[in-house]
Amino acid sequence: MENYSALVTGGAQGIGKAICSSLVQAGMQVLLLDNDRVAGRAAEQELGPQAHFLHGDAASEADVRRAVAQAQKLGRGLHAAVANTGISIHKPVTRLTLQQWRRVQAVNLDAPFLLAKHAAPKLKKSHGAMVLIGSSRALMSEPDWEAYGASKGGVVALAHALAISLGPAVRVNCVSPGWVATDAWQRPDRRKPPKLSAQDHAQHPAGRVGRPEDVAALVRFLLSPEAGFITGAHYLADGGMTRKMIYS
C-alpha cells in the first residue's frame, strides 16, 4: 500500500495509534486526527515522517472536512479512512444526564458518520476502503454502559448501511474489539506496562487479553487490496469472549 494515504480519527493513542503504526509500516502516509495535542505530537514523532498529526475534534464537521482535505494531499488522493474515536461514561442510567448521553453519541457515532460523509467522495475516486471501530459491547453488556453500548451498536449498523450505499466503489467494514490492554500505547506521560492477572488472560478462549496490534493487523488487512471481496462485514477481535457461555 505504498503511496496510499489514510485518515485515522482518534489516532494519537491506544488502538488508534496502533492502527496508524501498522499503516505506516505498510508504506502509507497517515493523517491522525485527535483532540489531544500532547499525544498527537508524540505519536507523530514516534511513528516517523509518514505520520502527520492534525489537532481537531472528530465530532466537529468543520474539523473532519479539514482533515479529509489535508489527508488527500498526502498521497494520490485518499485511499483509506478509519473511524476510531470513542469515549465512555460508566454511570447508572437513572443518573446519566442527557448532555452526557449526547456527548457519547457525538464522539462515538456522529464522528464516524461525519467521516463517511466527507471522505466518501474521495474514497470513491480511489476505490478505497473504510473501517469503523465498534465494540463487543454492541453485542453484550455489563451494568451501566447504556450510552456506550448504544453508540457502538449504531456504529455496527452504520458500517453495513454504508457498505450498501457506497459500494461497489468503496468497501466498508466494522471491527469490534473486546478487552484490549492499551496501557503501552498511551502518550508518554501516561504510558505503563499493563497490569493483568493470570485469570484475566485465562478467561479468554484465545488464552490472553488482546493487544492493540491485534486490532491493527485486522484493520490493515481490511483496508488492503487483498480484502477486495469483503464489505459490509462485522469482525469481532475479542479473543472469543462473546462466544463463551459462562455458568456459575
Supply the DSSP string of 141-163, one letter for each residue.
Answer: --TT-HHHHHHHHHHHHHHHHHH
- pLDDT score, position 219: 98
Q: Which pLDDT tens digits describe the chain residue by residue (248 residues)?
A: 888 999 999 999 999 999 999 999 999 999 999 999 999 999 999 999 999 999 999 999 999 999 999 999 998 899 999 999 999 999 999 999 999 999 999 999 999 999 999 999 999 999 999 999 999 999 999 999 999 999 999 999 999 999 999 999 999 999 999 999 999 999 999 999 999 999 999 999 999 999 999 999 999 999 999 999 999 999 999 999 999 988 86
- pLDDT score, position 248: 65
The 8 Å CB, 24+ separation contacts for 48-54 are: 48/24, 50/24, 51/20, 51/24, 53/12
239: left (phi over 0), alpha (psi -120 to 50) or beta: left
Cell numbers that stand for 69 in this block: 482535505
- pLDDT score, position 37: 97
CB count in 10 Å sphere of residue 30: 30
Topology, domain 5-243: Rossmann fold (3.40.50)
Amino acid of residue 162: L
Q: Are 176 and 140 in contact (CB under 8 A)?
A: no
Helix, strand and coil percent figures for the chain, each rounded to 5 = 45, 15, 40
Beta bridge partners of 121: none
Residues tagged active-site: 148
